[in-house]
Copies of this chain bind each other. A is one copy, B any other.
Amino acid sequence: MARTKQYNEEEVLEKAMNLFWKNGYETTSMHMLEKEMGINKFSIYSSFGNKHGLFLESLKHYKSRVNTILQKFKKGTKGVEDIKQFFYDSVSSNFKDDNLKGCFVTNTYNEFSETEDELIKEQMHSFMDNLKSIIIAKLKMDTTKTEDTVIKQANYLLLAKHGLAAAARVNTTQEIEDYIEMTFKNI
């Protein structure tokens, strides 16, 4: 063997993820990534292939990070109350260090909505489908709801979650809280 890597791939990936999360794909340049990750282009390309590959890995890394919240959500037994708690958990990470970046998946969903990038779309759909099925499961815990009501409410909540993630970039904690409370008033 030969020389060992002087950087930790997961560490620099975390930094890349934060930059992509904040600025989106197109706005983040390789130059910015070099500076933020603390390694140069050669190292980035040898570790992640290209900018697109690095972005995909950042997305996957993000998904594995939010998996903690998602697992807690899945395990809940309180139905609608779990969904509401999940909403709160999702935005709370945003207000930790003053970085209002929204949800990385939702941001990406919006930025790539007009493109034909299959790899990105696959990541988006798997995340959304998973989320939807969990929401449906929670709603069905209330056995008085009809199948039709469950579907309608699930669609509503998914859209509300989408909007919440987008709004989390620009709104205050209070506005977000009011929004969540109001959203669950009639569910």
Contacts and interface: CB of A to CB of B under 8 A. Distances in A.
A156 B170 contact: no
**Which secondary structure dominates where chain A touches chain B?**
helix
Given A114-B22, A175-B159, A182 B170 contact: no
A43 interface: no
| Size bracket, chain A contacts | 20 to 34
Interface in A73-127: 100, 109-110, 113-114
Nearest to A166: B166
A179 B159 CA distance: 7
A162 B152 contact: no
A182 B159 CA distance: 11
A153 interface: yes
B167 A163 contact: yes
